[in-house]
C-alpha cells in the first residue's frame, strides 16, 4: 500500500499542485475540499490518469464533526494515514484592524488556526507511536505574512499564520519522540486564486516589484518544498520553516 497523505484545501492552488506532485512521488492522496467538489474531482482524475491513487473527501476544516468524519472516511478507505498537509485557509477583504468585525476574526481563526489544530490532532492520534501508530509527517502552511504583518490589508490573516508558526514549533517538540516530524512552509507572493477571494485578484503581480527576485512564485514551487519535507530526504528536519518567497 502506498503511503497515505491527506491534503486539506487541495482542490485548487497550492493544495492541488501538492496533490499532483505527491502522487507522482508515490503517495495515495486524499484530496480535501470544503465546497468545490468538481475541482476536487478534477484533481483526483488527473492523479489517476497519471497512474496514481487518490480520493476526494469533503470537510470544512473549521467544523470539528466534519474533520472527524473526513478522517474516518480515510480510515475506511485505506486503513492508515502517514502524512498531513495543513493547507486549507482563508483570507478576507482587505481592511484595517479598526474596521474588522468579530465575525470576520472568528471565521479567520476558526479555519486557519483551529482547523489546523484539529486536523493535526486527528493525524497524531493515528500516526504517533504513543497511540500504536507507525509515525508520520505533518507540514503546515504558514506565510511570510507571519513576519511582515500585512498592515492595511489583513493583519488578522498574518496573525493566524503567526499562530501556525508557534503551533509548528510546539507540536514538533511534543511528538518528536513519537515518530512524527512537523514542519512548515511559508509562501510569499504566489500566483493562486486566494488573492481573488480577498478582493485583489492581481495583488501578487501588483506587489511583485517589492520582491527581491522581482516576480511572483508558482504553486508548483511551493509544492516542491512541501513534498521534500514529506520525504525521507528531510528525515532529520523537524520544527523548521522553509520560506519560499523570492527573498521577500
Q: What is the pTM of this model?
A: 0.96
List the grid coordinates of 148: 511582515
Burial class (CB in 10 A: 0-12, 13-18, 19+), 30: buried
Rounded Cα distance between 165 and 175, Å, is 16
pLDDT at 1: 64
204 neighbors 216 (Cβ within 8 angstroms): yes
Rounded Cα distance between 25 and 44, Å, is 15
The top-level CATH class assigned to 4-244 is alpha beta
Rounded Cα distance between 33 and 73, Å, is 14
Rounded Cα distance between 199 and 25, Å, is 35
Nearest to 84 by CA among 170, 15, 153, 20: 15
pLDDT, tens digit, 9 for 90 and up, residues 125-147: 999 999 999 999 999 999 999 99
pLDDT at 207: 85
E strands, the chain, are: 4-7, 28-33, 53-58, 83-86, 136-141, 180-187, 241-244
Rounded Cα distance between 9 and 16, Å, is 8
pLDDT exceeds 90 at position 201 = no
Q: Can you tell me which residue has the cell 476544516? A: 61
Give the chain's count of helices (H) and strands (E): 10, 7
Q: Domain-by-domain residue ranges, the chain?
A: 4-244
Catalytic, out of 27, 154, 157, 236: 157
pLDDT exceeds 60 at position 24 = yes
Rounded Cα distance between 137 and 25, Å, is 15
**Strands of the sheet with 180-187, listed across from one edge:** 53-58, 28-33, 4-7, 83-86, 136-141, 180-187, 241-244
The neighbouring-strand residues paired with 243 are 186
pLDDT at 197: 59
- Please, which pLDDT band fits residue 194 given cuts at 50, 70 and 90? low
- Please, which pLDDT band fits residue 89 given cuts at 50, 70 and 90? very high
Nearest to 226 by CA among 46, 27, 47: 27
Query: Is 157 noted as a catalytic residue in this protein?
Result: yes
Amino acid at each position: 500500500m502506498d503511503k497515505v497523505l491527506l491534503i486539506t484545501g487541495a482542490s485548487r492552488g497550492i493544495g492541488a499542485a501538492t496533490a499532483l506532485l505527491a502522487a507522482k512521488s508515490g503517495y495515495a492522496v486524499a484530496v480535501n475540499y470544503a465546497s468545490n467538489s468538481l475541482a476536487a474531482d478534477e484533481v483526483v482524475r488527473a492523479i489517476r490518469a497519471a497512474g496514481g491513487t487518490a480520493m476526494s473527501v469533503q470537510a470544512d476544516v473549521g467544523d470539528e464533526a466534519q474533520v472527524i468524519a473526513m478522517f474516518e472516511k480515510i480510515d475506511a478507505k485505506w486503513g492508515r494515514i502517514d502524512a498531513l498537509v495543513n493547507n486549507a485557509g482563508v483570507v478576507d477583504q482587505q481592511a484595517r484592524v479598526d474596521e474588522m468585525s468579530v465575525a470576520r476574526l472568528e471565521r479567520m481563526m476558526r479555519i486557519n488556526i483551529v482547523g489546523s489544530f484539529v486536523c493535526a490532532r486527528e493525524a497524531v492520534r493515528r500516526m504517533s507511536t504513543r497511540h500504536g501508530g507507525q509515525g508520520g509527517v505533518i507540514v503546515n502552511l504558514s506565510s511570510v505574512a507571519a513576519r511582515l504583518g500585512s498592515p492595511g490589508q489583513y493583519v488578522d490573516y498574518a496573525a493566524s499564520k503567526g499562530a501556525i508558526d508557534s503551533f509548528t514549533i510546539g507540536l514538533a517538540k511534543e511528538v518528536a519522540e513519537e515518530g512524527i516530524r512537523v514542519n512548515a512552509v511559508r509562501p510569499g507572493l504566489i500566483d493562486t486564486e486566494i488573492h481573488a477571494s480577498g478582493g485583489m485578484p492581481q495583488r501578487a503581480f501588483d506587489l511583485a516589484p517589492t520582491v527581491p527576485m522581482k516576480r511572483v512564485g508558482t504553486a508548483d514551487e511551493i509544492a516542491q518544498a512541501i513534498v521534500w519535507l514529506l520525504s525521507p530526504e528531510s528525515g532529520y528536519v523537524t520544527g523548521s520553516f522553509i520560506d519560499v518567497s523570492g527573498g521577500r
